[in-house]
Structure 1
Amino acid sequence: MNDQDEIAKLVFTTYNALPDKCKPRTRPDGTPEWTNLAGIVLVGGDGYNHDENDRVCASIATGVKATADENLPHAAGQVLHDCHAEILAIRAFNRFMIDQCNSRNSSDNPIVMFNPDRGKYELRPRWRRIVMVATEVPCGDASMDRLSDGKIAWDEANIQAMDNDGTGPMIGRGYFSRVGVVRTKPGRADAPRTMSKSCSDKLAARQRTSLLLTATSTIMSAQNMYLTELIVPSQKHDLSSFGRAFGRVRPFDCTTALARPAEYGFVPITVTTYSAVAGRMFAHDRTRQELVSKPSMVSLVYVAGGQHGAEAIVKGRRMGGRAGTAAAASVVCRQALARAAALAIMAVENPHDQVVTRYIELKTMDPARVAVKQATRRALGNWTPTATDDFSL
């Protein structure tokens, strides 16, 4: 196997060992379920000549659902908005990094180290690459060419019926001839509406903003925390589509009013492939199911390290937990990430002087990050914010 196959194999082997309750099933009427999977792997050394300690599968997630925007104002940080596999894997990766920062032996931690000059933790230099394995092309712009067969002519004939003035994002599976634009989830027009952006858009933005989420950015430097490679199935790779989707965001122009903050930069995502041989290790791919199959309602979230186990997520909440209770909150929800990060902040020698009491304040605590996000969203164009999800810290 080549390097990409080996990395994909690590993700699939880890997934296969997780509990069945978190995975697609066969329904009582005999209909099989499918899902999409994504995993994030830290790759050390030179990435090619290594031992097993040079690869860590930090997170795994599955999922194809998104929570309607109307539920966010009442979520209090406990409900997961975007449950697509790629985005959940990023959230789980952030929980993995926060847990590493909270390790009692952080001075000897093989993943992170504390930089007293920055007052933040950093990823150790030995980790040269951060790689995502995905069993499907990210939804949104990168997938439009694959989905558009036979639909563009219909779109053009009915373009006057379009309910979008071009300033806001487009529905995920509408108007296939319009490419290079921000799209929302879910793809189906008859599903509850969200303003959650497509995985293509979010991954494109992270070429500038890094993989760090709001909570993690309070304790970790964004330097070296960028996704360097996306590995997809060889039969689903389209070079021009990925080039267009990720090429919408480019390096900062330092001659503009926005001076590039030192810890932020631009790392383009390299798209590579794994073979059909490696892909056969994932049994729940849609292409391996019968023609009459259904997407799984359950998402899986796995954070490496053994502290949390694997979670089954339904409608943005942990399966079995009553809505509004701590038992329903995933370890990767906004509230859980913010509170875990707060523990790490208290443990460092130079904690932030700024005291914040609410999550919405936390989002604006780092002016450099805010500037980078705003510039990136302007570059993507028609990016409309989601509803506010605020809560007490």
Structure 2
Amino acid sequence: MENGEDIAQKIADLVVESFNGLKLKSGKPVVRSNGVKEWTVMASIVAIIDQKDDDIEPKIVPLTMATGVKALPDKIRSYSKGRLVHDLHAEILALRLFNWYLVQECIRIKDELGYNSSVIERMANGEGYKLKAGVSFGLFITEPPCGDSSMQHLVTEKEDSSPWVDEKEPSSKRQKVDGQQESKIDISRGRGNFGKLGIVRTKPGRSDSQITLSKSCSDKLCIKQLLGITNSFSSVLFPEGVFLDYMILQRKKYHEVDMKRCFQSRFLDLLEGKETLHPHPLKILLYDQDHYEFHKPKEKDVAEPSPLSLLYVIPEKKIQVLQNGVRNGTYIKNSLPRKGGESFICNWHLSNQIRSLKSLGYTSYLEFKASLVARNDLKKIGTTTLGNWNPTSNDDFEL
């Protein structure tokens, strides 16, 4: 893409303008009654659509937007039944929203005579859907993704420049391996073991917090270079896959060494030359200025992360606010939410959405996931390449 910097700044301007223009009673960070200011990360999936005239800049269309910095503990999966959204980091939520949007576009193409989607079309054989020619996708984020791609950024934000020390005792869990006796699995939690680079990490969290096991955004985005950004449900509609082409970051927060190590040398370079694999490289575009009000503060500043996540599907003008993985105001501790409290992007709702297009043919979510053999084989290659990828607990439900 020519004039990448101009495009990156245009994307930042459009996304932040869309966010600032939202007039909401709740969902955005606030100043608390004790004077403490809240902050959060914001992310957006944008479509970049080439124009027929090469002299005209690509059209930028923000599709989804999300905020969030939380992740739920792994134990909630024992009762979630697909109704809770586990990973509430902004970039993962933006991708979940994007998958909801993709399926919604497929439904419209099927049901609305003459509907013309700006990003997808039916395949010629009628067996699925694909991207239109000239369409690519970018992920805008107000902070570098948590995990391996942001380690140097964390150092520069520290008030104390002394090196971080490793955890005295690595966090661990017990897990059955190949049905045999339980074994102890080491886990690198968030910012623990800071001196170790190029490793898989869980979502950040206090050392005394319950373990989430949800992988860092850096690690999840690595895997998506191989799998694509469709999820288990939407992948059955897009046999050619849908990939992320660009990540759009603020220049002053970008550290080339971290990004190249995370997404290239520890992953893409190790997969190079394998004929059956076609990983999709992720290009970084940098912008300089934005008017986002809720950037992560410096370490010395008195501020707290917002407990809420804002979901926004921009073309649909569909908005929802989440807390603890469910609609704000419906959370019940150690239980499913109040009736109707499930988010429209939880797996249970997504399974209902996809069934209007395709019969899944299985009685449970885990049976359906197990049937995606090619996708599962690719994921295994990706997680084995990264190493130390300890799976989360199962979250099954009836289909």
| One of 210, 225, 229 as aligned partner of 2:246 | 229
**C-alpha distance 205-356 of structure 1, shift in aligned 2 (>3 A):** same
Q: Which amino acid aligns with 1:140?
A: G
Could you say which residue in structure 2 is the equivalent of 1:204?
Answer: 222
CA displacement 1:32-62 (0-9 Å, x = unmatched): 100000001010116985478x222111010
Could you say which residue in structure 1 is the equivalent of 2:307?
Answer: 297
1:88 aligns with 2:97: no
- Percent of residue pairs bearing the same amino acid type: 30
- For the Cα contact (< 8 Å) 1:112–1:123, is it kept in 2? yes
Q: How many Å separate the matches in 1 of 2:196 and 2:51?
A: 40
Please state whether the residue corresponding to 1:364 is helix, strand or coil: helix
Could you say which residue in structure 1 is the equivalent of 2:104?
Answer: 99
Can you give the 5+ residue segments of structure 1 that lack an aligned partner in the other structure?
347-353
Superposition map of 1:122-133 within 5 A: 122-127=130-135, 129-133=136-140
Can you give the 5+ residue segments of structure 2 that lack an aligned partner in the other structure?
174-183
| One of 371, 375, 384 as aligned partner of 1:365 | 371
1:328 aligns with 2:315: no
**C-alpha distance 173-195 of structure 1, shift in aligned 2 (>3 A):** same
Please state whether the residue corresponding to 1:40 is helix, strand or coil: strand
1:18 aligns with 2:22: yes
Q: Which amino acid aligns with 1:234?
A: R
Deviation at 1:253, TM superposition (A): 5.5
1:374 aligns with 2:357: no
Q: Which amino acid aligns with 1:204?
A: C
Taking structure 2 as the reference length, the TM-score comes to 0.86
Deviation at 1:17, TM superposition (A): 2.2
Q: How many Å separate the matches in 1 of 2:273 and 2:34?
A: 59
1:136 aligns with 2:143: yes
Q: How many Å separate the matches in 2 of 1:35 and 1:311?
A: 16
Please state whether the residue corresponding to 1:343 is helix, strand or coil: coil
Please state whether the residue corresponding to 2:193 is helix, strand or coil: coil
- For the Cα contact (< 8 Å) 1:212–1:222, is it kept in 2? no
Could you say which residue in structure 2 is the equivalent of 1:73?
Answer: 78
Greater shift in the superposed pair: 333-342 or 379-388? 333-342
Q: How many Å separate the matches in 1 of 2:71 and 2:133?
A: 35
Could you say which residue in structure 2 is the equivalent of 1:351?
Answer: none
Could you say which residue in structure 2 is the equivalent of 1:176?
Answer: 194
Taking structure 1 as the reference length, the TM-score comes to 0.87
Deviation at 1:153, TM superposition (A): 4.6
Q: Which amino acid aligns with 1:236?
A: K
Could you say which residue in structure 1 is the equivalent of 2:153?
Answer: 146
- For the Cα contact (< 8 Å) 1:38–1:134, is it kept in 2? yes
Deviation at 1:162, TM superposition (A): 3.8
- For the Cα contact (< 8 Å) 1:140–1:183, is it kept in 2? yes
**C-alpha distance 304-163 of structure 1, shift in aligned 2 (>3 A):** closer
Could you say which residue in structure 2 is the equivalent of 1:8?
Answer: 12
Deviation at 1:126, TM superposition (A): 3.1
**RMSD after superposition:** 2.6
Could you say which residue in structure 2 is the equivalent of 1:119?
Answer: 127
Could you say which residue in structure 1 is the equivalent of 2:176?
Answer: none
Please state whether the residue corresponding to 2:340 is helix, strand or coil: helix
